[in-house]
Amino acid sequence: MINYIGRRLWQGLIVLLIVSFISFAIFEFIGDPVITMAGRYATAAQRAAVAHAMGLDQPFYVQYWHYLWNVLHGNFGMSYIARVPVLGLILERLPATLELTFVAEIFAVFFGVTLGLLVAAYPRSIISRISMTGSLFGVSLPTFIAGVLLIFVFAVQLPWLPPSGRGDVVHVIGYWDTGLLTVSGWKHLILPAVTLGLFQLALLMRLTQSGTVEALQADYVRTAWAKGLSPVKVLFKHTLRNVLIPVVTMVGLQFGQLVGFSIVTETIFQWPGAGNLLLQSIYNSDFPVVAAYITLIALLIVILNLIVDISYGFLNPRIRHG
Amino acid sequence: MRGMRTKPVRTGALCLGAAALLAVGVGSTTAMAQQADTLSVGVAVGPQTMNPQGADTDSNMSIMTNVFDSLVRRDNSGDLQPDLATSWKRIDANTWRFHLRKGVKYQNGNDFDWKDVKFTFERMKNPQVSEFLNFGALVTSVKPVDDDKWTIDITTKEPVPYFVQNLPQIFIMDKESTKSRSQGEVGLHPIGTGPYKMTKWVKGSSLSLDAYDGYWGKAPSIKHVKVLPITEDSTRMAAISTGQVDLLQGIPVKLAQAIEKNPNVTLVSRPGRRSIFLQLGNKEGTPTADVRVRKAIYLAIDEDAIIKNILHGHAKPASQIPDPPTIGYDKDIKRLSYNLEKAKKLLKEAGYADGFEITLTGPNDRYVEDKQIEATIATQLSRAGIKVRVDSIPKAVFFPKVAEHKVDFYLIGWFDGAYDFGRTYAKLLHCVDDKAGYGGTNGASFCNKDMDKQFAKANSIVDPDERAKALQKLNVMAAKQVAFIPLHYQEDDYAVSKKSKLDFTPRADTWLVFSQMSTGQ
Beta-carbon pairs below 8 A across chains A and B: 211
- Among A residues 171-210, those touching chain B with beta carbons less than 8 Å apart: 177, 199
User: Which chain A residues touch B398 with a CB distance below 8 Å?
Assistant: none
Question: Which residue is closest to B414 within chain A, CA to CA?
Answer: A40
Of B461, B440, B439, nearest in space to B448 by CA: B439
Q: In whole angstroms, give the CA distance from residue A266 to residue A245.
A: 30
User: Which chain A residues touch B395 with a CB distance below 8 Å?
Assistant: 283
What does each C-alpha distance from A118 to A133, B405, B471 come to in angstroms?
14, 65, 78
Tell me the pLDDT band of B379, cut-offs 50, 70 and 90.
very high
Backbone dihedral region for residue A117 (phi beyond 0: left; psi -120 to 50: alpha; all else: beta): alpha
Q: How many CB atoms lie within 10 A of CB B13?
A: 17
Q: In whole angstroms, give the CA distance from residue B434 to residue A244.
A: 66
What pLDDT does A1 receive? 67
Q: How many CB atoms lie within 10 A of CB A158?
A: 11
CB contact under 8 Å between A159 and B10, yes or no, is no
What pLDDT does A317 receive? 63
Question: Which residue is closest to B7 within chain A, CA to CA?
Answer: A144
Mean pLDDT by 10-residue block, N- to C-terminus, for chain A (322 residues)? 78 88 76 79 86 85 87 86 88 91 92 88 83 81 85 86 86 85 90 91 88 84 84 80 80 79 89 89 85 86 80 66 52
CA torsion sign for A121, A123, A125, A126 is: positive
Q: Is the pLDDT of residue B23 over 80?
A: no
Tell me the pLDDT band of B10, cut-offs 50, 70 and 90.
very low
Please give the residue that has the higher pLDDT: either A247 or B409: B409
Three-class SS of residue B509?
coil
Which value does ipTM take for this structure?
A: 0.81
Q: Is the pLDDT of residue B81 over 70?
A: yes
- Among A residues 204-243, those touching chain B with beta carbons less than 8 Å apart: none
Torsion of CA A83, A85, A86, A87, to 10 degrees: -170
Q: In whole angstroms, give the CA distance from residue B120 to residue B174.
A: 8
Three-class SS of residue A177?
strand
Please give the residue that has the higher pLDDT: either B31 or A31: A31
Q: How many residues does chain A have?
A: 322
Q: How many CB atoms lie within 10 A of CB A112?
A: 28
Three-class SS of residue A48?
helix
Question: Which residue is closest to A153 within chain B, CA to CA?
Answer: B21
User: Which chain B residues touch A47 with a CB distance below 8 Å?
Assistant: 403
User: Which chain A residues touch B202 with a CB distance below 8 Å?
Assistant: 166, 169, 177, 272
CB B165 within 8 A of CB B424: no
Tell me the pLDDT band of B435, cut-offs 50, 70 and 90.
confident
The DSSP H or E segment spanning B95 is strand B95-100
Tell me the pLDDT band of B28, cut-offs 50, 70 and 90.
very low
Question: Which residue is closest to A30 within chain B, CA to CA?
Answer: B397
Helices H, strands E: what count in chain B? 17, 19
- What is the reported pTM? 0.84
Preferred mutation among B138, B231, B395 to probe A, highest tally of A CBs within 10 A: B231
Q: Give the whole-number percent of chain B exceeding pLDDT 90.
A: 74
Three-class SS of residue B358?
strand
CB A173 within 8 A of CB A103: no
What pLDDT does A315 receive? 67
Tell me the pLDDT band of B122, cut-offs 50, 70 and 90.
very high
For chain B, the C-alpha Rg in angstroms (whole number) is 24
Of B285, B242, B284, nearest in space to B262 by CA: B242
User: Which chain A residues touch B21 with a CB distance below 8 Å?
Assistant: 148, 151-152, 156
* Chain B interface includes A31 (CB < 8 A): yes
User: Which chain A residues touch B434 with a CB distance below 8 Å?
Assistant: 43-45
Candidates B29, B48, B135; nearest CB to A41? B135
Q: Is the pLDDT of residue B336 over 50?
A: yes
How distant is the Cα of A162 from the closest Cα of chain B, in angstroms? Answer: 6
**What b-and-e string marks burial along A43-80, b requiring 16 or more CB atoms within 10 Å of the CB?**
bbebbbbbbebbebeeeeeebbeebeeebeeeebbbbb
Contacts with B92 (C-beta within 8 Å, 6 or more apart), sequence order: B462
User: Which chain A residues touch B13 with a CB distance below 8 Å?
Assistant: 144-145, 148
Which residue stretches of B181-284 are H helix?
183-188, 233-241, 253-261
Q: In whole angstroms, give the CA distance from residue B369 to residue A145.
A: 22
CB B50 within 8 A of CB B187: yes
Give the best-scoring range by mean pLDDT among A225-234, B113-122, B429-438. Answer: B113-122
What pLDDT does A318 receive? 65
Task: Specify the amino acid at residue A213.
Answer: V
Q: In whole angstroms, give the CA distance from residue B379 to residue B419.
A: 34
What pLDDT does B124 receive? 94
Q: How many residues does chain B have?
A: 521
Q: How many CB atoms lie within 10 A of CB A125?
A: 12
Question: Which residue is closest to A48 within chain B, CA to CA?
Answer: B127
- Mean pLDDT in residue range B155-163: 92
Backbone dihedral region for residue B452 (phi beyond 0: left; psi -120 to 50: alpha; all else: beta): alpha
**What b-and-e string marks burial along B150-179, b requiring 16 or more CB atoms within 10 Å of the CB?**
bbbbbebeebbbbbbbbbbbbbbbbbbbbe
CB B112 within 8 A of CB B165: no
Q: Is the pLDDT of residue B17 over 60?
A: no
The DSSP H or E segment spanning B295 is helix B291-300
CB contact under 8 Å between B437 and A43, yes or no, is yes
Beta strands of B326-430 (E only): which ranges?
357-363, 387-393, 409-414
Q: How many CB atoms lie within 10 A of CB A231?
A: 10
Counting Cα atoms < 13 Å in the Cβ hemisphere of B255 gives: 34
